[in-house]
Structure 1
Amino acid sequence: MRNPVAAYRLLRQMRNDVIYIVNQPDLYQCKKYQNESDAKLLEIPQLEDLDGAASGLIRLQEIYKLHPEDLTKETFLNADEAYNVGLVAYDEEKFQHAFLWFLYSLDRLTEYSNTDEEELLHYLSSSVYHFGSLSVAIYFSQELLNLDPSNDEARAQLNRLLHLQRNPDIFTLNTESSNYEALCRGEVDERRNPDIFTLNTGSSNYEALCRGEVDERISKRQRALSCRYSTGGGNPRLMYAPVKEEVEWDEPRIIRYHDIISDREIEILKNISRPQVNIERTQTHTLGNSPEEARVSQKIADATGLSMETAETLLVQNYGIGGAFEQHIDALMSDVEIGGATVFPKSGVAVQPKKGSAVFWYNLLRNGEVNWNTEHAGCPVLMGNKWVANKWIHELGQEFRRPCSLSEWE
C-alpha cells in the first residue's frame, strides 16, 4: 500500500471488524463459526502491530519534519485514530509529536468518538509541559477543569502548574510559550506558519539527507560525475549488450548499474518473498538457491567483475510503514514516490531508488580496512513502497579480481 496513513487505518479496521464479528452473540453461538473466528482472531493485526504502525508514522513525522495535517492530506484520520498515534508518541517520550497528534484529535472529536475529551485534555497538558511550555500546560489544565469542575486530580495538577509559574527559578519558561497560547486560543494557525512551531527532530546529517537538504558543494561535485556503457572489463556476455554504468559518487566510489534486473525477475523475487512479509517496518527474506537468484547473481558478477562463489544469497527486503534500514549491492526492485533514499551521512550523498537498477560500492579498502565513509542508511518511505534485494559479496575469493594493497590509504 503506497500511503502509510491508509495502511495504518487498514490495520486498525481489520482488527476492529474481526473483533466486532466475534463479539456478535447471534453469529458466535455456532460452534463451527466460533472455531473459525478464534483462528482468524490469531491472524489479525495485534495491538503491538498497530503500535508499530503508529510508531512508523511518528518516524516519518520526525525525519521529514511533518505535521499531522501534512501526513493526512490524502487519507483522513479520525479523532480515535489520531489519539492512539499520540499515545504511542507519548510512550516513546516524543512529546512534541504527541502534542500535535492530540491537538489533531481534539479538532476532530465528535459525539461518535470513543476518545474521552477529559483524557485528551490531560495528555495535551502533560505532553506540552514535558517539552517546556508551562503556560500552555496551564491552559489545557484549566480547560480540563472547566469541562469537569469536580475533577480533583485536574484541580491539583492545575495548582501545581500555577505554583511553578509563580516560581520561575523552579521551572524555566519557554520563551515561545505565547505562540502556543495563541495557537490554543485559535488566534494563530501555527500549522500554516512553520516559523512559529518547529519540530525538534535533531539536525543529523542522516535526517537532512533524507529530506533532500544537500550541500551545494555536493551538488556541483555530482554534476561533474559521468556515466558510460561498460563491458565489465571485456566480459564476453556484455560485449554486445553492455551494462549502463553511472557514477553516483567518486569517493567513496558508488556505482549504479541501470536495468540490471528485469520487471519479470522482480515480480518473481517478490512473490517468493511475500509469504515471509509481516507488518514490521522492514521485512527481510533470504532467498535460497533458486534459478532467479542465480540469474541475478550472474548479472551482478558480469557487471562488477567479481566472483560470486563466496557471496551470500540475495536478501529481499520490503520497507513497511516508516520502515528504514539504519547504518548497513542493493538491487532496487521498485520506484518510490517520496522518500526511501539510501544515504551516506559521512559523505553527504543520497542515492534515490530506481526500479531495476543496482547500486554498488566497496565497504573495504584494498588494504582490508573498513571504509567508514560507506556507512549508509535507508530513509523511511513517505509515499509508495520500497522493495530491495541486497547482495553481500565477500572479500575472500576476490584476490585476483581486486588485488590487495599495502598502502594504508587505499
Structure 2
Amino acid sequence: MAIKELTFVVCFWIVCSAGHEFFSSTDQTAQLVEKKKYLLMSFSQYIDAEEKNVEAMKSAFQNLLPLYSDPVDPEEFTRDPVAAYKLLRQLRNELIYIVKHIRLSFYQCNEYQYELEFLEIPQPEDLNGAASGLIRLQEIYKLYPENIMMEMSLSADEAYHVGLVAYYEDKFQHAFLWFLYSLNTLTEYSTTNKKDLLHYLSFSAYRFGSQPVAIYFCQQLLNLDPTNDEVKVQLSLYRRHHFMRTSNPDIFTLNTESSKYETLCRGEVDERTSKRQMALSCRYSTGGGNPRLMYAPVKEEVEWDEPRIIRYHDIISDREIEILKNISRPLLSRSVTKGGISKNRTSQSVFLEEGNTVVARVNQRIANITGLSMESAEHLQVQNYGIGGRYEPHYDAEDNENERIATFLIYMSDVEIGGATVFPKVGVALKPKMGSAVFWYNLHKNGKVDLNTEHAGCPVLRGNKWVANKWIHEFGQEFRRPCSLSYWE
C-alpha cells in the first residue's frame, strides 16, 4: 500500500508541475519547499512500511529456511503423511506470501521475474487431495486421528480442514473424529471458529445416525448462541428424529468390518495362507537356461503357487534405482486408468523409452529372467505414490487381442508401513522390498484372464513408495509360452 501511495504522490507532483515555470516566479519556487515536505513525509511512511514488510519477509524466510538448509534427504519430509500434509500447507502459505511481496517491491530483480511467473505453488486441490489421503489411511487401517499422527501433530485449523474434506466426501464418522480433535486442540491462536466446529460436529453425528451425540453438540452450540433460531429449529429436529430411530450407531468407535483388500493391507493374513506359503520354495534361476544367467543366476522365491507369483531378489542395484528416479522426476504426471484420472489410483508415473542405457539394461534383464519377448511390451513405467497413495483392486489385462500376458513389478524403495501389493482373491500380501521384483501371468494359456490375479497397491502409511512396471503383451510369445485349448490352463 505504501508503494502505491508514494507512486501516486510522485506522479501527481510530476503532472501538476509539468505546466509550471519555477524560474519565472519566486512564489512558485517557494511552494516547492512545501511540496518537498509532503513528499519527504510520504517517503518516510513508505520506508516504515517497507521495513515492516522486510521484517515480515524475514520471518517467512526463517520459517522456510530449515526446509532448504538442512542436508536431510528431501524424501524424509514426505515419509510421514501428516508431515507431508503440513509441508504442503506451509509451502502454499509461505510461497504465496513471499511471491506477493516480491512482486510489490520497488526493487524487484529482473533475473527472478521468470522464475516467479512459472513458480509452482501447491493449490487448494493439492491440500484437499492430501487431506483425502489422510482420510483414506483412516479407512483402510482403521485409525483414529491421534493414531495417524505418529511423529507430528496437526493444529486445530489443520484438523478442521481434514474434517471438512471428509464431510464433503460424505464420510461423516471420519469427519466427526477430525472435528472433535480440532475442538479439543483449539487455542487462542486458532482461526477456526468454535461455533462452526460445533455445527459440523452436530450435523456429522446426525448424518451418521448418532442422534444423542448430535443433540449434545447442538445444545452446546445453542448455549454459545442462545438467540440463534436456526440452531433451535435444528435441535428440535434432532430430538424428534431421536424418538423415531430404533438404533444409534456409536460414532466414537470405528467400524471393524472390512473387505478382503483392506484386511490384507493391514497384514491380517489368514493362517491357512501362511501355512501354504511356508511350503513354497526358493532357488537360483537361470531363466530357463538363458546364457546370460548361467554364471549369474537370480534368486527366485515362489510367493504363491496358483496363480504362480514369483519374487526375484536383488535384480536391480541402488545406483540403477537412483538413475531411474532422477530420469523420471521431471517427467512425472498423474497416473491414469483406462477411464482416465481416477480416485482409485493416487500416484504419478512416466513411461521411459530405451534411450537411456539403464532403462535398456533393465528391460534386457526382464527379458532374460522371464524368458519372454519384449517385442510388444510396453515401455518401462516408473511410478511414485502420493500421500496415502494407493491403487485399488484391478486387473492388468482384459479379454482383448494382444493383452498384457504378464506383469513384472520392480520395487524401487522399501516402505516402512503399508504399500503392500495384495491379491484379494487368493489372500496374498507382498511387502515391498527395494531391489526385488514380483512376476505373474495375467492370462491363462488359453488366453482368458486369470481372475485370481486381481491385485491392488495398498495405501502408504509411512514411507515413500517407488515402483517400476513392465507390462508384457501376448504378441511375440507364441513359442515362448505356447497357447492351450484347455479351459483349465
TM-score normalised according to structure 2 size: 0.76
Distance in 1 separating the partners of 2:366 and 2:261: 28
SS in 1 for 2:212: helix
Number of the residue aligned with 1:17:
94
Answering whether residue 259 of structure 2 is matched by residue 174 of structure 1, we say no
- Distance apart, 1:108 and its partner CA: 0.6
1:397 aligns with 2:476: yes
The match for 1:317 is 383
Post-superposition Cα deviations, 1:42-74, rounded to whole Å, max 9, x if no partner, equal: 611000010001001110111000000000121
2:353 aligned partner: 288
How large is the RMSD of aligned CA atoms in angstroms? 2.0
Q: Which aligned segments of 4 or more residues in structure 1 are displaced greater than 6 angstroms?
A: none
Contact 2:421–2:456 (Cα < 8 Å) also in 1: yes
Distance in 2, matches of 1:373 and 1:279, equals: 28
After superposition, the Cα gap between the structure-2 partners of 1:219 and 1:198, relative to the gap in structure 1 and judged at 3 Å, is: farther
Are 2:428 and 1:349 equivalent residues in the alignment? Answer: yes
Equivalent residues of 2:261, 2:424 under 8 A apart: yes
Give the stretch that moved more between structures: 145-154 or 372-381.
Answer: 145-154
**C-alpha deviations, 1:227-247, integer Å up to 9, x for none?**
000111111111111000000
Please name the residue that 1:268 is paired with: 323
Give me the whole-angstrom Cα distance separating, in 1, the residues matched to 2:140 and 2:106: 49
Could you give the per-residue CA deviations for residues 56-97 of structure 1, whole angstroms, max 9, x where no partner exists?
Answer: 111011100000000012111000000000000001000110
Question: 1:84-119 CA deviation, whole Å, 9 max, x = no partner?
Answer: 000000010001100010001011100100101100
| Partner in structure 2 of residue 136 of structure 1 | 213
Matched, 1:229 2:308: no
- The answer for the alignment partner of 1:375 in structure 2 is 454
Do the aligned residues in 2 keep the contact of 1:22 with 1:37 (CA within 8 Å)? no
Report the alpha carbon displacement of residue 175 of structure 1 after superposing the two structures with TM: 5.7
Note the alpha carbon deviations across 1:277-317, whole angstroms, 9 max, x for none.
Answer: 46883001111222111100111111111111111110000
Which residue in the other structure is 1:206 paired with? 261
Q: 1:306 aligns with which of 341, 347, 372?
A: 372
Unaligned stretches of 5+ in structure 1?
181-196
Conserved in 2, the CA contact under 8 Å of 1:293 and 1:313? Answer: no
Correspondence 1:3-402 to 2 at 5 A = 3-24=80-101, 28-30=104-106, 32=108, 36=113, 39=116, 43-165=120-242, 167-168=243-244, 171-174=245-248, 176=250, 197-200=252-255, 202-277=257-332, 281-289=346-354, 290-326=356-392, 327=394, 328=396, 329-402=408-481
In structure 2, the CA distance between the partners of 1:14 and 1:133, relative to structure 1 (3 Å rule), is same
Q: 2 CA distance for matches of 1:256 and 1:292?
A: 21
The answer to whether the 8 Å contact 2:333/2:350 transfers is no
Question: Could you tell me whether the CA contact under 8 Å between 1:336 and 1:354 is conserved in 2?
Answer: yes
Alpha-carbon separation, structure 1, partners of 2:247 and 2:334? 41
Instruction: Please give the per-residue CA displacement for 1:380-404, whole angstroms capped at 9, x wherever unaligned.
Output: 0000000000000111101111111
Distance 1:250 1:265 in 2: 30
Flag structure 2 segments of 5+ consecutive residues without an equivalent. 1-77, 336-345, 397-407
Q: How big is each residue's C-alpha offset from its partner over 1:225-270, in whole Å with a ceiling of 9 and x where there is no partner?
A: 0000011111111111100000000000000011111111100000
Aligned residues of 2:209 and 2:249 also touching (Cα < 8 A):
no
Identity of aligned residues (%): 70
CA distance in structure 2 between the aligned counterparts of 1:217 and 1:90, rounded to whole angstroms:
39
Q: How many angstroms does 1:38 deviate by?
A: 9.4
**Aligned equivalents of 2:118 and 2:89: distance in 1?**
13
Amino acid at match of 1:308: M
Structure 1 position 370, deviation (Å): 0.5
Name the counterpart of 1:409.
488
Alpha-carbon contact 1:305-1:401 (below 8 Å) kept: yes
- The verdict on how the C-alpha distance between 1:306 and 1:205 changes in structure 2, with shifts beyond 3 A counting, is same
Partner Cα separation in structure 2 for residue 278 and residue 124 of structure 1: 37
Higher RCO, 1 or 2 (CA under 8 Å, sep at least 6)? 1
Whether the 8 Å CA contact 2:347–2:383 is kept in 1: the answer is: yes
Deviation at 1:203, TM superposition (A): 1.7
Say whether the 8 Å CA contact 1:63–1:201 is kept in structure 2: no
SS class of match (1:382): strand
What's the offset of the Cα at 1:31? 7.3
CA shift for structure 1 position 39: 3.4
Q: Matches of 1:92 and 1:248 in 2, distance apart?
A: 37
CA distance in 2, matches of 1:51, 1:224: 46
* Residues 133 and 285 (structure 1), Cα distance of their counterparts in 2 relative to 1, 3 Å cut: same
Q: Who is 2:343 aligned against?
A: none
- Whether contact under 8 Å (2:348, 2:384) holds in the other structure is yes
